[in-house]
Amino acid sequence: MSDSDQNKDQQFGREAGQPATGSPIIPKSASEALKPERVPMPPTRSRSARSQVVIFFNFLMTLAVMATVILIAVAYYALSTFNAPGPLETNTTFLAREGAGLNEISNALERNNIISDGRVFLYVSKTYLKGSTLKAGEYEIKAHASMKDVMELLRSGKSILYSVSFPEGLTVKQMFDRLRDDPVLEGELPTEMPAEGTLRPDTYKFSRGTKRIDIVNQARAAQAKLVDEIWERRDPSLPLADKREFVTLASIVEKETGKADERPHVASVFLNRLKKGMRLQSDPTIVYGLFGGEGKPADRPIYQSDLTKDTPYNTYIIKGLPPGPIAGPGKAALEAVANPWRTEDLYFVADGTGGHVFAATLEEHNANVKRWRKLEAAKGNGENVAVDGQPADEVPEEAKPAGKSQKKKK
């Protein structure tokens, strides 16, 4: 339809675009044409649309959508914070006490400015841990470590380790002194000390919070296990009745020489003397008999007069082994006694260089002792200092004339 036709329709009272019908056209006056027409009413809502249940359900759906959006935003913030670098400017240490829960650890980390938000650490860690726990101990926290880094470190249990060392040859009393003086260990020592020789010389690592008695129990169990293992593979011809005698002789060997390559040789001398009924004549047994677990003062020599002092440990007087160990023997000394060298040697004396010279006969030994005396004289030591080794007069019982006894030389 053209614009002229539309204008004609409007002039004669018919709406534009309204199809022509057979009804008569009623013309409108100008004033009637200008009056606004009545807008039709909106359609009536159905009864189901007006239901309170539907309205409430729509409200819940709106809340759920809003909650989901908020939850996603919170989760994003928490995960971002959990993985972001932390506020710590320099490396520091953190102590998670024994029995502390995740909530306590979270608060402590925030209080020490290691993490920025303890609540984020608490809730996000719970999702990571899934039943596992953070382990007690002292930890080194790196600068700017994230919450995730801190959580993984505490979950791993890789805490700072300290150590206490018991060198071979220490007595139980000396080991207890080291434990008592350690500033990191906690708790009291046992009121009754273990028997001599029952604690294994070794270096024991521990974390802060470890009890002193825990180290004692660890050393005792380690020594018992070691002695059992070596005793099982000993030379069956050893003149030793049981493991106590075994440890006792090993402790004497331990104190006689600090040179690893000498221990099997020294052990063979003592075992040969035991087989022949000779006294061991070991200076360390004199020291233990005189000073016990305290040990001899470093500036005090062993005098000739000490050799005749009557103690249960003085192997210059008693025959056979002393009543028990005189120190804690290490693995090398135990191995040396269990499988010693096969020699005929019965004597040894210091050579002046930290080692010893060995001899199978008294004549050889006397010559070695004379050389040692000259060395000591050059140092200013007199004849009152005892020989570092067997004296120059002990012979096997089987070689002594019947009814006669040997007289010791001073």
Spell out the domain ranges in the chain. 92-156, 161-226, 242-399
Q: Tens digit of pLDDT for each residue in 191-223?
A: 999 999 999 999 999 999 899 999 999 999 999
Please report the pLDDT score of residue 22 as a whole number.
Answer: 55
- The whole-number pLDDT of residue 43 equals 66
pLDDT of residue 63: 87
- What is the structure's pLDDT at 403? 37
110-128 mean pLDDT? 94
Residue 148 reports pLDDT greater than 70 = yes
More confident call, 53 vs 37 = 53
List of long-range contacts for 256-262, beta carbons under 8 Å, 24+ apart: 256/282, 256/283, 256/284, 257/355, 257/356, 258/169, 258/354, 259/354, 259/355, 260/332, 262/355, 262/356
Would you state the pLDDT for residue 401?
41
Question: What is the rounded average pLDDT of the residues 323-344?
Answer: 97
CA-to-CA distance for 375 and 353, rounded, in angstroms?
A: 10
Comparing CA positions, the residue from 326, 281, 274, 270 lying closest to residue 304 is 281
Q: What percent of the chain has pLDDT over 70?
A: 81
Instruction: Indicate the range of 24-28, 184-188, 239-243, 245-249 predicted with least confidence.
Output: 24-28
For residues 336-362, one letter each, b for 16 or more C-beta atoms within 10 angstroms of the residue's C-beta and e for the rest, the string is: bbbebbeeebbbbbbbbeeebbbbeeb
Residue 402 has pLDDT above 60, yes or no: no
CA dihedral of 333, 338, 342, 348, whole degrees rounded to 10: 30
Convert the pLDDT of each residue in 55-114 to its tens digit: 888 888 888 888 888 889 888 888 999 999 999 999 999 999 989 999 999 999 999 999
The number of CA neighbours under 13 Å toward the Cβ of 189 is 15
Give the range among 56-60, 66-70, 132-136, 139-143 with minimum mean pLDDT.
56-60
Tell me: pLDDT of 400 over 60: no
Instruction: State residue 266's pLDDT score.
Output: 97
β 161-165/203-207 pair status: antiparallel
For 234-291, how does the pLDDT look when each residue is reduced to its tens digit (9 = 90+)?
Answer: 999 999 999 999 999 999 999 999 899 999 999 999 999 999 999 999 999 999 999 9
Q: Which residue has the tokens 């008294």?
A: 362
pLDDT value of residue 203: 98
C-alpha to C-alpha distance for 6 and 2, rounded to whole angstroms: 7
Confidence of residue 352 (pLDDT cuts 50, 70, 90): confident
* Alpha carbons 306 and 74: distance in angstroms, whole number: 82
pLDDT of residue 304: 87
Q: What is the mean pLDDT of residues 331-347?
A: 97
Does residue 3 register a pLDDT over 60? no
Binning pLDDT at 50, 70 and 90, where does residue 46 land?
Answer: low
Determine the average pLDDT of the residues in 300-308. Answer: 89
Closest CA to 228 of 216, 246, 241, 214: 246
Q: What is the pLDDT of residues 165-180, one digit of tens each?
A: 999 999 999 999 999 9
Chain mean pLDDT for the chain: 86
| Distance set, CA 31 to CA 35, 132, 140, 376 (Å) | 7, 88, 94, 147
Average pLDDT over residues 184-197: 96
- Could you tell me which residues are beta bridge partners of residue 141? 92
- The domain made up of 92-156 has a fold known as Dna Ligase; domain 1 (3.30.1490)
Distance CA 410, CA 407 (A): 10
> Tokens representing 217?
């129990």
